[in-house]
Amino acid sequence: MSKMSKVYGEAKDSYTAKLRTKSMILTAWFIILTVICLLPLYMLIINATRNTSQISNGISILPGSDLGNNLSTVFKGEMKLYYDAVSGYKNSLIITVCSTILTVFFSAMTAYGIQVYDFKLKEVSYTVVLLVMMVPMQVTSAGFVSFMNKLGLLNSYIPLIVPAVAAPAVVYFMRSYMKSSFPLEIVEAARIDGCTELRTFVSIAIPMMKPAIAVQAIFAFIASWNNFYTPSMILVDGKTSKKTLPMMVQALQSSDTLNDYGAVYMAIALSIIPIVIAYVCLSRFIIAGVALGGVKE
Amino acid sequence: MASAAQRRIKSISYAKYGYIFILPFFLVYFFFQLWPLINTFIVSFQGNAGSSDFVGMDNYNAILFGGSRATNAIHNRFTSSLANTFILWIGNFIPQIALSLSLAVWFTEANLKIPGKEFFKIVMYLPNIITAASVAVLFLQLCGQSETNPGALNMLLSKIGIVHRDAVSGKYDSIPFIQGVWQSRGVVMFIQTWMWFGNTMIMLMSGIQGINPSLFEAASIDGATAGQVFRKITLPLLTPIMSYTLVTSMIGGLQMFDIPFLYNKDGKPGESVQTIAVMIFEYFHSVGKEQKMGYAGAASVLLFFITLALGILSLYISRDKDEIAKKKQRKKVEKQLKQESKQFGGFSI
């Protein structure tokens, strides 16, 4: 008996030891990856607080003392000609907030229409939604630009906001959510109580779909905020006051015009920081949302 | 009798509300997506430099085969952009899937004790939400390479001792991370991997968590090693989600735009990282005589078909072979049964 337990004990010990070494090696590897993930951002923040000569002399782990100088260069200096942070934030915010609201509201509405009502084209319309999901923006862009040009909508925000109404991937997500957690009996009950169809949707369905709406709103917001392709295709007159934030970052690209490296780093940091802060606050929802997107297959 | 009232109630149809609810979506979809798509096809048959004459297949001929000197330039640009797109996509997809798959397996292994899993997940997903345009310009700054100001990356390499500084002139023999062909491609691949591996990892993780845990338990009771479990259980059951990742990554890779477009010093995308999307954008974006709307349209249409073909191909490759074999087997058995029952004079037994 005692021999047996000894053998088992040894096997168990070696198994635990093996697991422990594996865990340790993996933890070290994860820490290395974390450093790789954060290093570029860390360098960005550090260099945003240093001046040009410090930056060209070498790298540093500690922040410098020129944070205020760099900030005032970005907000007051001649950099405003290419990079106007205030109007960049304003423009990006207008476009992003409007298109996010349109995306979640109309996607919920479309999903609701397909899920709740029985009509002839129900399945056909849903198939169309699924097919559309796969057509990339870059394919339609040439036709999009020439069509907008004909309508005289270039340089306006309409082509950047209104298309957000048709977001097939969001409709798909909302419908799968409704399938699992929206009982149709509630609609019937509302009808019996004399509620109109639109009101049923607005005051019963939308509150019940809040979790799905929140997740999709976060993703729509990030996607629209980060969008560089569509705005630079539509806003072509080169007016800085109209540009979105990512478009202004483009102006920082050629370093010949901008020799103040500290200010350039500062400007890049200003374009990144709001979204990073939002991410840190909402990271749990975001990661859960990505995981949900993965299981939809 | 309440039959009249009953009949009236029965005749209330809510179908029209269904149409009303989905109308905005399809209206906007038609104007801003479907019509532009059709318009792309139309434009691809029209002339360039602002003219809208019908030119037949000229644009396609120029892009696919070249011919005259002017069209040869366009043909060369298209083939090199296509090659670049594939090089950049493969160079980012392979490390990305290897990294995400291994991380996803390790993160979901229950008996490993790794502290702060949630934290690692959050950090690894972080690069994905940062504005791609800002990321490109940030790396441009970090990889800058003038002889006197070699950028943070070269500076780091000089501290390790790979890049040297001339003691007299103070110049660095820096690595050309922006102008060099493979160096610049390497940086773009790195950025793409850096931005996307966290996303892929989380998707694969949710796929692994969807696998029945009793399978893993049974395997560990039978004494399977971690490698065996991965090869025989995780990988086969993960095929659907892997093929989904492959398709989405491929479609995304063909659209790669922000980083290749911005990762250059002089405002013109470097030739070694120019992708199809960049080429299309430049063609329809330039004005006056330089404008090449027709070529842009034709290239878009070709891109559309390439995307479609690759999507169908990868779905075909990654289809569930076992399931198909089983179906065949089932059909065979049914046939046999039928024949056997015929032998008994058609009586089903």
- Render B235-254 in DSSP notation, one character per residue: HHHTHHHHHHHHHHHHHHHH
CB contact under 8 A, B40 and A139: yes
Identify the residue whose tokens are 């103070």.
B170
Identity of the residue in A55, A143, A295 whose CB atom sits nearest the CB atom of B39: A143
Q: The domain that contains A150 carries what CATH number? A: 1.10.3720.10
- Domains of chain B listed by start with CATH number: 45-143+178-318 (1.10.3720.10)
The verdict on A30 and A112 lying in the same domain is no
Mean pLDDT across the stretch B265-287? 79
Chain A neighbors of B39, CB-CB under 8 A:
142-144, 146-147
In a domain, A280, yes or no: no
pLDDT in tens, B148-202: 667 778 777 877 877 777 766 667 777 778 777 888 888 899 999 999 999 899 8
What's the rounded Cα separation, in Å, for the pair A233 and B149?
A: 34
Chain A neighbors of B121, CB-CB under 8 A:
287
In a domain, A173, yes or no: yes
CB contact under 8 A, A23 and B113: yes
The verdict on A40 and A127 lying in the same domain is no
Q: Least CA distance to A17: which residue of chain B?
A: B112
What's the rounded Cα separation, in Å, for the pair A169 and B271?
A: 34
Chain B from 282 to 341: CB within 8 A of any A CB: 283-285, 293, 296-297, 300-301, 303-304, 307, 311
Paired strand residues for B165: B172
The verdict on A106 and A171 lying in the same domain is yes
Chain B neighbors of A145, CB-CB under 8 A:
284-285
Among A66, A94, A121, residue at a domain's last position: A66
B92 interface with A at CB cutoff 8 Å: no
Domain total for chain A? 2
* Secondary structure of residue B328 in the 3-state scheme: helix
What's the rounded Cα separation, in Å, for the pair A170 and A132?
A: 12
A29-49: burial string, b at 16+ Cβ within 10 Å, e else: ebeebbeebeebbebbbbbbb
Written as one string, the DSSP assignment of A238-296 is: --GGG--HHHHHHHTS-TTT---HHHHHHHHHHHHHHHHHHHHHHHHHHHHHHHHHHHT
The verdict on A227 and A108 lying in the same domain is yes
Distance from CA of B132 to the nearest CA of A (A): 7
Helices B35-43 and B293-317: angle between axes, nearest 10 degrees? 120
Q: What is the pLDDT along chain A (297 residues), one digit of tens a residue?
A: 556 666 677 777 777 888 888 888 988 999 999 999 999 999 889 888 888 777 777 777 788 788 888 888 888 877 777 788 888 899 999 999 999 999 999 999 999 998 888 888 888 888 887 777 777 778 888 888 888 888 888 888 999 999 999 888 888 888 888 888 888 888 889 988 988 888 999 999 999 998 889 888 988 999 899 999 889 888 888 788 888 998 888 877 765 556 778 888 888 899 898 899 989 998 888 888 888 765 443
User: Which residues are CB-contacts of B55 (< 8 A; sequence separation ≥ 6)?
Assistant: B45, B46, B47, B294
Determine how many CB atoms are found less than 10 A away from the CB of residue B325.
Answer: 10
Cα dihedral B17, B18, B20, B22, rounded to 10, equals 160
* Secondary structure of residue B172 in the 3-state scheme: strand
Among A66, A101, A118, residue at a domain's last position: A66
The verdict on A110 and A186 lying in the same domain is yes
The verdict on A142 and A237 lying in the same domain is yes
Contact A224, A97 (CB under 8 A): no
Burial of B61 (0-12, 13-18, 19+ CB in 10 A): middle
Written as one string, the DSSP assignment of B273-327 is: G--HHHHHHHHHHS-GGG--HHHHHHHHHHHHHHHHHHHHHHHHHTS-HHHHHHH
In a domain, A101, yes or no: yes
The verdict on A100 and A247 lying in the same domain is yes
In a domain, A9, yes or no: yes
The verdict on A214 and A116 lying in the same domain is yes
The verdict on A19 and A54 lying in the same domain is yes
The verdict on A174 and A38 lying in the same domain is no
What's the rounded Cα separation, in Å, for the pair B155 and B161?
A: 10
Chain A neighbors of B193, CB-CB under 8 A:
none
In a domain, A46, yes or no: yes
B91 interface with A at CB cutoff 8 Å: no
The verdict on A247 and A102 lying in the same domain is yes
Complex ipTM, two decimals?
Answer: 0.86
B140 interface with A at CB cutoff 8 Å: yes
The verdict on A88 and A122 lying in the same domain is yes
For A21, the domain range is 2-66
What's the rounded Cα separation, in Å, for the pair B52 and B269?
A: 28
**Pair of tokens at residue A191:** 């009808």
In a domain, A57, yes or no: yes
Residue B165's φ and ψ, nearest 5 degrees, are: -110, 130
In a domain, A148, yes or no: yes
Identity of the residue in A26, A226, A283 whose CB atom sits nearest the CB atom of B131: A226
In a domain, A281, yes or no: no
Chain A neighbors of B199, CB-CB under 8 A:
290
Chain A neighbors of B240, CB-CB under 8 A:
297
CB contact under 8 A, B15 and A110: no
**Pair of tokens at residue B21:** 């609810």
